[in-house]
Structure 1
Amino acid sequence: MIEAAKIWNEPNNKSHWDPNLDPEWDRFAQMTRLAGQAIAAENGGLTRVLGGLSPIDPAFVQRLDRKGALDHVDVLAVHGFPLDWNLWAIDEWPQKIAEIRAVTSKPVWVTEVGVSSFGSEEVQAWGVKKTAELLIGQAPRIHWYSLYDLPKTWEATTRHKEAEGSSYYRHFHMGLLRADGAPKPGLEVYADYAAEMGLCQWFHFQDHRIDAAAGWMKRLGVRHLRTGLSWADSFRPDALAWFDRQMEALAEFEVTVTFCFTPEHRGIEPHHTSPPQAAEEFAEFCAQMVRRYAPASAPRAQAFAAG
Structure 2
Amino acid sequence: MIEAAMIWNEPNNKSHWDPELDPEWIRYADMVVRAGAAIEAANPTVTRVLGGMSPIDPAWTLRMGELGALDSVDVVAVHGFPLDWNLWPIHAWPDKIAEIEAVVPDKPVWVTEVGVGSFGAEEVQVFGLRRTAELLIGRVPRIFWYSLHDLPRAWGATTRHREAEGSSYYRHFYMGLIREDGTPKPALADYATIADRMGLMQWFHFEDPRLDDTVQTMRRLGVRHLRTGLSWADSFRPGATEWFDRMMAALEPFDVTLTFCFTPEHLGLAPHHSSAPLDPQGFADFCGWAIERYAPAVPQTSRAIG
- Counterpart-to-counterpart distance in 1, 2:261 and 2:109: 20
Q: Which runs of 5+ in 1 are unaligned?
A: 300-307
CA–CA distance in 2 between the matches of 1:118 and 1:193? 23
1:99 equivalent in structure 2: 99
Deviation at 1:298, TM superposition (A): 6.8
Q: Distance in 1 between matches of 2:68 and 2:165?
A: 38
2:21 corresponds to: 21
CA separation in 2, counterparts of 1:233 and 1:181? 26
Q: How does 1:256-267 map to 2 (within 5 A)?
A: 256-267=257-268
User: Is residue 157 of structure 1 aligned with residue 162 of structure 2?
Assistant: no
The equivalent residue for 1:43 is 43
Structure 2 distance, partners of 1:255, 1:2, is: 5
Letter in 1 for 2:199: G
Structure 1 residues 89-98 or 117-126, which shifts more? 117-126
2:147 maps to a residue whose letter is S
Query: Structure 1 CA distance, aligned partners of 2:286 and 2:201?
Result: 22
Are 1:151 and 1:172, in contact at CA under 8 Å, matched by a contact in 2? yes
1:207-255 deviation line (CA, Å, top 9, x unaligned)? 0000111011001000000000000000000000000111111110000
Task: Give the 5 Å matches for 1:29-68.
Answer: 29-68=29-68
Counterpart of 2:288 in structure 1 is 287
Instruction: Give the aligned partner of residue 304 of structure 1.
Output: none
Give the percent of matched residue pairs that are identical in Structure 1 and Structure 2.
Answer: 68
Note if 1:218 corresponds to 2:185.
Answer: no
Distance, in Å, in 1 between the alignment partners of 2:38 and 2:195 is 32
Q: CA deviation at 1:160?
A: 3.7
TM-score, scaled relative to structure 2: 0.97
Amino acid of the structure 2 residue aligned with 1:71: D
Aligned equivalents of 1:40, 1:190: Cα separation in 2: 34
2:197 is aligned to: 196
Distance 1:2 1:234 in 2: 19
* Alpha-carbon distance, 1:137 to partner: 0.8
Give TM-score, length-normalised by structure 1.
0.96
Aligned length: 299
Report the AA paired with residue 95 of structure 2.
Q
Matched, 1:146 2:147: yes
Aligned alpha-carbon RMSD (Å): 0.9
- Indicate if the aligned counterparts of 1:160 and 1:167 stay in contact, CA closer than 8 A: no
Amino acid at match of 2:221: L
Distance 2:265 2:299 in 1: 34
More deviation, 159-168/189-198: 159-168
8 Å CA contact retained: 1:142, 1:197: yes
